Structure 1
Amino acid sequence: MKKLLVLLGIGILLFYISPVFFKMIGIETLGLMVIALLVLYPLYSLVAGFIVPKWRLVFPLCIGLLFIPAIYLFYNESAWVYPIRYTMIAYLGAGLSYINRVGDN
């Protein structure tokens, strides 16, 4: 349970603090936000889905739901595709974790 809360906390930091940080330092250029949306957040989703095997079915949904308020705060309506992508990527990580654990036995 502690691992789950830590990973959700990291997700909150990534999804909410990084856009605020970009705006505070004046780097709200499209480039950094796109890199975060296309590289950083999916990488977090994959790794987090891989790490939390006990919550394999619920945690990926939490990642997608966690990003939805960020759409209204920092992005526009075109960002609605990202929670779906992050959820699917987290399920991919959970599936890889399951395959890895089954292969060890």
Structure 2
Amino acid sequence: MEKLRKILPYLLVLIGIFYVLPMLIIDTGSGMFILLGLIPLACLLTSMAYGFKNSFTMIFPILVMLIFIPSIFIFYNESAIVYVFAYGIISLVGSFVGASISGKI
């Protein structure tokens, strides 16, 4: 339970990113910029902050993947399912790098 309490603020930031940024999509170009640029960058930075502050855990990337899934059906279509795995890998790398920088691995 304590681990989930440490993860929650970072997940709330990612929930905001996953569900607010898509509302800014106007056309295909802006959609690709958000899906391939802004969201991955925000996911990486948030995951690095989590890894730096806490330690590396596998549960964080899994939760990132799970919170992105509903946004696929709200804002995109089923072809965006590949982003679940992409953002999971980005989150995994980010939390690992953050934990490595802080020496908490």
TM-score range, shorter chain: 0.7 to 0.9
Output the TM-score relative to the length of structure 2.
0.79
Q: Which residue of 2 aligns with 1:13?
A: 16
Aligned Cα root-mean-square deviation (Å): 2.1
How far did residue 10 of structure 1 move? 1.7
1:13-52 alignment to 2 at 5 Å? 13-20=16-23, 22=24, 28-52=26-50
Does structure 1 retain, via aligned residues, the 8 Å contact 2:55–2:99? no
Look up the equivalent residue of 2:18 and give its one-letter code: F
- Against the structure 1 CA distance between its residues 29 and 3, is the aligned structure 2 distance closer, same or farther, given a 3 Å change threshold? farther
Runs of 4 or more above 6 Å deviation: none
Take 1:99 and 1:55, find their aligned partners in 2: how far apart are those partners? Answer: 9
Take 1:50 and 1:73, find their aligned partners in 2: how far apart are those partners? Answer: 27
Look up the equivalent residue of 1:58 and give its one-letter code: I
Output the TM-score relative to the length of structure 1.
0.79
Look up the equivalent residue of 2:30 and give its one-letter code: L
Larger Rg: 1
Q: Which residue of 2 aligns with 1:63?
A: 64
Q: Which residue of 2 aligns with 1:89?
A: 90
Gaps spanning 5+ residues in structure 2: where?
none
Q: Which residue of 1 aligns with 2:100?
A: 99
Q: Which residue of 2 aligns with 1:4?
A: 7
Which 10-residue stretch deviates more, 49-58 or 27-36?
Answer: 49-58
Take 2:94 and 2:14, find their aligned partners in 1: how far apart are those partners? Answer: 15
